Structure 1
Amino acid sequence: MTYRRFFGGLGMLAVLAGAPAAFADAGRLTVVGAGGVLQDAERKAFFEPFAAASGVVLTEDSYSGQMAKVRAMVDSGSVSWDVMQVEQNTLLSGCAEGLFEELDWSRIGKREDFIPEAYSDCGVGAFVWSMVPSYDKAKLADGPKTWADLWNVEKWPGKRGFRQTAKMTLEIALLADGVAKDEVYDVLATDEGQDRAFAKLDEIKSSILWWTTGAESVERLAAGDVVATATFNGRVAAANASGKDFALIWDGQVFGIDYWGIVKGSPNRENAEKFIAFASTESAQAAFPQHIAYGVTNLAAIRGVKPEIAKDLPTTEANMAAAVALDTEFWADHGEALEARFATWRAQ
């Protein structure tokens, strides 16, 4: 990943904090996250500091990634959500469908202040997360170290955990089958490559336990339901902070970015823009990894993370060496067909 030169922070916290007299009529804002430990971290790094600095009455909600409710809000003209945390493909498809407002980046910050992937017409990169292999070191002295190792059910008998989606699971299957990280999407874009990914999954299909939430992935690992699992790096770090000893393996990490987007027709658009600008500042972003081990998109914040924290972040240079960037354009083009095939395959 190529990072652009950092020019300077937005200084939004100082701007917002400079007019306490306006707090009596600062308005409202509803921000929607994904719940769990991730939203706990967002609350500490973004929600509470923004509310305190701006006087805006901030209400939280959460969702599981489904856009039906958002679509119904926009179609009916009765929008009650303002800012949403969304994955890359959701942002792209939602932007094309008219579910998110196009952003005026001059009200957010300078594009050169962020990693290039953080920019989108309808969103600003909030944080970088990663899908990684993990196992419980308290149960395995020498567990699987690569995606290919997860397929070795003879050496490490037992169930494997995978997210119940084609996205990222098919990439992992190809990596496990020896496809080079820079060639994953070229291969997956072909019929032969798709067949290859499903054939690889066939090899361990009977050993797979599917999970639908990040919390479930580490809960199954802790319970011993699975010997090893694909999971989010932040979930592993959070579990370890609570006393677990889960391996955090960066070889073959598949990383993506979640974005802040404004729901089309937001009744509090001005406050929504102020929130996103605040959450994108160096100070706010630097605080985020202190609460959960996800990377950030502000270049100055990336450089300022303490080494003991940086080692557990996807964006650290050493951890990026064998990384695969989630290709949102690919999933925008192929996602519907591949997810349908994946659901059929799972049911067989």
Structure 2
Amino acid sequence: MPERAAPFQNRGNHHETCEDTSHRARGRHGLRDHRRRRFRRGAVDHGERRRLAGCQRKAWFEPFAKETGAKILEQEYLGDLGKVKAMVETGNVPIDLVTVETATVLQGCDAGILERLDYSKIAPRDKFIQGSALDCGVGLDAYGDILAYDPTVLKEAPTSVLDLFDTTKFPGKRAMRKFPAQNLEWALMADGVAPADVYKVLATPEGVVRAFKKLDTIKKDIVWWDAGAQPAQLLASKEVVMTTAWNGRIQNAIDTDKKPFKIVWNNQILEYDMISIPKGARNTELAYKYLAYISEPKNNAKLASYITYGPVRTDAASFVAPDALPKLPNAPDHLKGAYLVADTEFWGDYGEDLVKRFNAWLAQ
């Protein structure tokens, strides 16, 4: 039975086995998948997304096709939800799956563009980690916004992402992403707000002022980065003593480029890649079959053998390869300390205003 697939794209890094061959597998029909740029991420890193597509191909596409006889054809797509919306409105939906960020799942669900999922066809909803099983989308993987440093440069090792704000103990330039998300949350936590209260505080005018006031304390020491490759480059060139980063980028620099970098997981921010079924998809039952396949604990854990992003099933950790588990953001040991699950609904409500406020603050 021929099916279709369009691009599984991501911002993450990969092991060298994840070759990008998406240009070889394009087609007009089949089980398709799309990814839109994520609001929280800012600019799209096309290379990273293609590499993650290669990892998903090894972990899921190929074994699923072999097991079911389905043919998965991939087609690169880097647009936004508007294109999926147009398909749904015209009744011509040639895609069966769409991979998106969590904010887009909420947006598409509210707009009636995405199907409300029947979890009885996928997996028990309570078996997914917090925030990764939504009404119209189920998690693919978990990744972490973390702190990285070079131990050959820093005499003392930082123990928390919040050490970004301690310029007395850790003098020198530090790099942060040029975007308000994550930075405002960390600023509040560094100012004493408990992770459980961060979004409650940030939703108030006083909380926003408090977050920016904390950022003011290190503003002159910040080097801003825009693309996922920059944090590792800034560390390697010794332009900064520490940097925020996506965990996959730093792990790739450690494993592939043999850099001496270290990752600090305490106070990381945990996020997810998601997958949904567009309204009016032609192969809905097969789409559910694929979602069920990748959501089985053993299969859910397979991606971690190719890229350092974790499974979203609570019972999948035992299936992760022993050498891969310590590198995952949601490895049990990395969740023993403080961490925050990103609230994409909050950023959907307040993000536009906070981006404007952040850009104005940068210009001051």
Per the shorter chain, which TM-score range? 0.7 to 0.9
Q: Give the aligned residue type for 1:246.
A: F
Q: For structure 1, which segment, 176-185 or 245-254, has the greater mean C-alpha deviation from structure 2 after superposition? A: 176-185
Out of 253, 261, 284, the residue aligned to residue 276 of structure 2 is 261
Residue 191 of structure 1 pairs with residue 205 of structure 2: yes
**Residue 170 to residue 60, structure 1, CA distance change in 2 (3 Å):** farther
Out of 10, 13, 26, the residue aligned to residue 2 of structure 2 is 26
**Residue 94 to residue 336, structure 1, CA distance change in 2 (3 Å):** farther
Where relative contact order (Cα < 8 A, 6+ residues apart) is larger, the structure is 1
The corresponding residue for 2:356 is 340
Out of 329, 336, 354, the residue aligned to residue 314 of structure 1 is 329
Out of 285, 304, 307, the residue aligned to residue 319 of structure 2 is 304
The corresponding residue for 2:218 is 204
The corresponding residue for 2:139 is 125
Deviation at 1:253, TM superposition (A): 1.0
Cα contact 2:6–2:77 (8 A) shared by 1: no
Q: Give the aligned residue type for 2:308.
A: A
- Give the TM-score normalised by the residue count of structure 2: 0.79
Q: Give the aligned residue type for 2:109.
A: C
Residue 57 of structure 1 pairs with residue 33 of structure 2: no
CA distance in 1, matches of 2:98, 2:237: 32
State the secondary structure of the residue aligned to 2:251. helix
Deviation at 1:131, TM superposition (A): 0.8
Q: How does 1:8-27 map to 2 (within 5 A)?
A: 25-27=1-3
Q: Give the aligned residue type for 1:327.
A: D
Q: Give the aligned residue type for 1:218.
A: A
Q: Give the aligned residue type for 2:295.
A: S
Out of 299, 302, 305, the residue aligned to residue 284 of structure 1 is 299
State the secondary structure of the residue aligned to 1:86. strand
Q: How does 1:33-72 map to 2 (within 5 A)?
A: 33-34=9-10, 35-61=49-75, 66-72=80-86
Unpaired segments ≥5 residues, structure 2? 11-48
Residue 328 of structure 1 pairs with residue 344 of structure 2: yes
Deviation at 1:266, TM superposition (A): 3.3
Aligned-residue sequence identity (percent) comes to: 40
Unpaired segments ≥5 residues, structure 1? 1-24
CA distance in 2, matches of 1:95, 1:275: 20
CA distance in 2, matches of 1:326, 1:217: 21
Residue 295 of structure 1 pairs with residue 271 of structure 2: no
**Residue 56 to residue 293, structure 1, CA distance change in 2 (3 Å):** same
Q: Give the aligned residue type for 1:332.
A: G
**Residue 142 to residue 112, structure 1, CA distance change in 2 (3 Å):** same
**Residue 131 to residue 264, structure 1, CA distance change in 2 (3 Å):** same
Out of 230, 234, 247, the residue aligned to residue 216 of structure 1 is 230
RMSD of equivalent CA atoms: 2.7
CA distance in 2, matches of 1:211, 1:79: 37
Deviation at 1:116, TM superposition (A): 4.8
Deviation at 1:73, TM superposition (A): 4.4
State the secondary structure of the residue aligned to 2:67. helix
**Bigger proportion of residues as helix:** 1
Q: Give the aligned residue type for 1:285.
A: N
**Residue 232 to residue 62, structure 1, CA distance change in 2 (3 Å):** farther
Deviation at 1:89, TM superposition (A): 1.9
Q: How does 1:175-190 map to 2 (within 5 A)?
A: 175-190=189-204
Deviation at 1:132, TM superposition (A): 0.9
